[in-house]
Amino acid sequence: MATTDQDIRWDLTDLCGDTEEARGQWDGVVARSQEIAGRYRGRIAELDAPAWRELLDELDELEQEASRLQVYSYLRLSMAATEVDANDLATFSRERSADIENALVFVGLEWIAVDDGRAEELLAADELAPYAHKLRVERLEKPYVLSEPEEQALNARRPVVSSWQALHDRQVSTMEVPFDPGDGEGPTPHGVSQLLSYLYRPERELRRRAIDTLYEGLAPRTDVLAAAYDALVGDRLTTDKLRGYANPMQPTNMANELDDETVEAMLTAIEESYGIAQKWFRAKAKLLGLEKLALSDQYAPIGDPRRFSWDEAVEIVDSSYTRFSPRLAEIFRDCLDAGHVDVLPRQGKATGAYCTAVSKEILPYVLMNYTNRLRDVSTLAHEFGHATHNVLSLEAQTWRSHRTGIPMAEVPSTFAQSIADDYLLENESDAGTRAALAADRLENAFAAIYRQTVLARFEQRAYAVRADGRALAAERLNDLWWEENTAYYGDALELPDGYRMGWSYIPHFIHVRFYTYAYSFAQLVALLLYRRYREEGDSFAPTYLDFLRAGGSASPADLVAPFGLDLRSTDTWREAFAELDQFCDEAIALSSVPG
Ligand SMILES: [Zn+2]
């Protein structure tokens, strides 16, 4: 168990004094947004470049004020989910955010309405350079925006769409089946995530029973889960048609600033390299002394990692960052010194880990649930990959242009994790820890690259079936899921029949279509950058820091161009798999050493 000296908690004073102060400040920001609206509404088309710049700077400042209060409210809730005061503030903050958004929505709408020639003139002006990319991206939506009454009618169906999503969520979250984890207490009610957590346990029989129990629980619900998905896919296809989108992936690709060719080149290269995963599954079967791996063995632990104290984790991240670039380590230490990390799990505290940017003036905040596991060390390195990206991009960019979509946001975090993992592999003498680290790193990469791609291909096929006038009944979805998964696993892994229902509880299909491939993208780009770093050595870091500083000021393709990467080329993506294949061989070698 952790000792009390590690019970390091957030110091929120950089954000706000207390909830009363936050409420007062929210009201101030709302009033300012309304005042800005009073000055500019209906006038956007008349603004020249200097006047535009003035407005954008004003909005940038206002958004950072709102962000500071939003983060304060969010962190309060993360520390105590059931605290009344924190919940009241969260509700209050949501309402004030909506007020601000409503007051300022005209800016984007009027900007899109500016005619193309005039917009190009403005975008070429020096004054607008820091904002130009984001302004351009906003205008890409123009051909797909409908008339005001049409947009209002589409908005009016939002509650119905949410009801289908809520129905799905409720079906999954209320699923409880009796399961005996073998702890001597007998069978107790188990939910989806609890059952899935047993897949990481060393006992084979426990894993197998957990996964069978999951499918038994899902079976009576798949009809309703399929009906919810069918309704949502049908709705999305209908609105896509009204808006004029060419394919169901286009809205997601546009939000990610990736063109259809890039995404397809990547997915194709990923599918071509399914063999790397299959090689690992065969090797893993041998390591576990099995003839063949079953699905429930996929995440069975390899190696026996030792424990890591918080101080040791800090030391590992600090040293590994310093070796790459002292600037990154400096940001890490600044955040720790400022009290912007909350370390231990506590009753009522949010689970998992995250990093949140605040503003140009205030360092980001990081939430951890540190329990001395090897995995927690990687998580710390990952979250501070986000933090260093936030700090450097906010130094160089405006608030608006520092932000990136998920595909680019997860690159620095994944890269930072590689820096720490490699450092650990070089310096760790315990064989069981080294084996576990190499296997974890590989399996995390597989989960991000391959599994997310299987999910995206499944979605593409589901939309195609529905667009072709066939309903997405459970049995049909089972077939599509099975086909995409057998392509991935090949004959290297035995899939139980119940796995046909594996699509049914995945929330991304329901909430954000084609959400998952962004993680494949980020993982592969991080691998490519890491390969460049290993080839180039120390001369790589300055280019990489410039990439961090660029934030979201350019498209992903332009952001990675200085590294000589051409994202539209399948060959680029193939290069990433040379790196992954090497990870795989390393993991096999390290795991085979008797520890
Ligand atoms: Zn992340």
DSSP letters along 582-594, please? HHHHHHHHHHHS-
Report the separation in Å between the CA atom of 354 and the middle of ligand 1, taken as the mean of its atom positions: 7
Report the separation in Å between the CA atom of 453 and the middle of ligand 1, taken as the mean of its atom positions: 18
And the tokens for 494? Answer: 């035995």
For residue 595, the model assigns a pLDDT of 45
Q: How far apart are CA 254 and CA 233, in angstroms?
A: 18
Q: Is the pLDDT of residue 277 over 50?
A: yes
Taking CA atoms, 174 is separated from 71, 167, 171, 225, in Å, by 30, 11, 6, 13
- What confidence category does residue 5 fall into, taking pLDDT thresholds of 50, 70 and 90? low
Spatial contact of 388 and 402, defined as CB atoms under 8 Å apart: no
Q: Is the pLDDT of residue 2 over 80?
A: no
Q: Which residues have their alpha-adjacent CB atom under 5 A from ion ligand 1?
A: 413
- What confidence category does residue 100 fall into, taking pLDDT thresholds of 50, 70 and 90? very high
For residue 1, the model assigns a pLDDT of 45
Report the separation in Å between the CA atom of 257 and the middle of ligand 1, taken as the mean of its atom positions: 19
List the 365-367 sheet strands across, edge first: 341-342, 365-367, 354-356
Report the separation in Å between the CA atom of 555 and the middle of ligand 1, taken as the mean of its atom positions: 19
Q: How far apart are CA 274 and CA 488, in angstroms?
A: 6
Give the type of residue at 424. Answer: L
Report the separation in Å between the CA atom of 567 and the middle of ligand 1, taken as the mean of its atom positions: 21
- What confidence category does residue 82 fall into, taking pLDDT thresholds of 50, 70 and 90? confident
Report the separation in Å between the CA atom of 448 and the middle of ligand 1, taken as the mean of its atom positions: 11
Report the separation in Å between the CA atom of 437 and the middle of ligand 1, taken as the mean of its atom positions: 18
383-416 pLDDT tens trace: 999 999 999 999 999 999 999 999 999 999 999 9
For residue 533, the model assigns a pLDDT of 96
The C-alpha torsion from 573 through 579 and 582 to 584, rounded to 10°, is -60
Spatial contact of 223 and 474, defined as CB atoms under 8 Å apart: yes
Spatial contact of 211 and 496, defined as CB atoms under 8 Å apart: yes
For residue 9, the model assigns a pLDDT of 96
Instruction: Report residue 219: phi and psi, to 5°.
Output: -45, -50
What's the chain's average pLDDT? Answer: 95
Q: Which helix (H) or strand (E) holds 341?
A: strand 341-342
Q: Is the pLDDT of residue 3 over 80?
A: no
Report the separation in Å between the CA atom of 320 and the middle of ligand 1, taken as the mean of its atom positions: 18
Q: Which residues of 197-208 are buried (b: 16+ CB within 10 A; e: fewer)?
A: ebbebeeeebbb
For residue 207, the model assigns a pLDDT of 97
Report the separation in Å between the CA atom of 235 and the middle of ligand 1, taken as the mean of its atom positions: 31
Report the separation in Å between the CA atom of 500 and the middle of ligand 1, taken as the mean of its atom positions: 29
pLDDT above 70 covers a percentage of the chain that reads 99
Q: Between vectors from CA 366 to CA 411 and to CA 173, what angle results, nearest 5°?
A: 85
Give the three-state DSSP class for 157: coil
Report the separation in Å between the CA atom of 105 and the middle of ligand 1, taken as the mean of its atom positions: 29
Report the separation in Å between the CA atom of 543 and the middle of ligand 1, taken as the mean of its atom positions: 22
Burial of residue 361 (CB within 10 Å: 0-12, 13-18, 19+) is exposed
Neighbouring residues of 202: CB distance < 8 A, sequence distance ≥ 6: 300, 301
Q: Is the pLDDT of residue 4 over 60?
A: no
DSSP assignment string, 356-394: E---SSS--EEE----S-HHHHHHHHHHHHHHHHHHHHH
Report the separation in Å between the CA atom of 386 and the middle of ligand 1, taken as the mean of its atom positions: 7
Q: Which residues of 302-324 are buried (b: 16+ CB within 10 A; e: fewer)?
A: bbebeebebeebbebbbebbbbb
What's the average model confidence in pLDDT over 202-223? 97
Report the separation in Å between the CA atom of 414 and the middle of ligand 1, taken as the mean of its atom positions: 7
Report the separation in Å between the CA atom of 403 and the middle of ligand 1, taken as the mean of its atom positions: 14
Report the separation in Å between the CA atom of 124 and the middle of ligand 1, taken as the mean of its atom positions: 34
User: Which pTM does this prediction carry?
Assistant: 0.93
And the tokens for 29? Answer: 């920001």
289-314 pLDDT tens trace: 999 999 999 999 999 999 999 999 99
Report the separation in Å between the CA atom of 413 and the middle of ligand 1, taken as the mean of its atom positions: 6
527-550 pLDDT tens trace: 999 999 999 999 999 999 999 999
Report the separation in Å between the CA atom of 519 and the middle of ligand 1, taken as the mean of its atom positions: 9
For residue 243, the model assigns a pLDDT of 97
Report the separation in Å between the CA atom of 417 and the middle of ligand 1, taken as the mean of its atom positions: 10
For residue 213, the model assigns a pLDDT of 97
Report the separation in Å between the CA atom of 549 and the middle of ligand 1, taken as the mean of its atom positions: 18
- What confidence category does residue 594 fall into, taking pLDDT thresholds of 50, 70 and 90? low
Could you tell me whether strands 354-356 and 365-367 are parallel, antiparallel, or unpaired per DSSP bridges? antiparallel
237-266 pLDDT tens trace: 999 999 999 999 999 999 999 999 999 999
For residue 593, the model assigns a pLDDT of 65
Would you mind telling me the total number of residues written for the chain in this entry?
595
And the tokens for 396? Answer: 């160089």
The residue assigned the tokens 């995530």 is 193
Give the type of residue at 173. Answer: S
Report the separation in Å between the CA atom of 118 and the middle of ligand 1, taken as the mean of its atom positions: 39
Report the separation in Å between the CA atom of 379 and the middle of ligand 1, taken as the mean of its atom positions: 9
Select from 523, 566, 261 the least CA-distant residue to 409: 523
Spatial contact of 465 and 253, defined as CB atoms under 8 Å apart: no
Report the separation in Å between the CA atom of 410 and the middle of ligand 1, taken as the mean of its atom positions: 5
Report the separation in Å between the CA atom of 341 and the middle of ligand 1, taken as the mean of its atom positions: 15
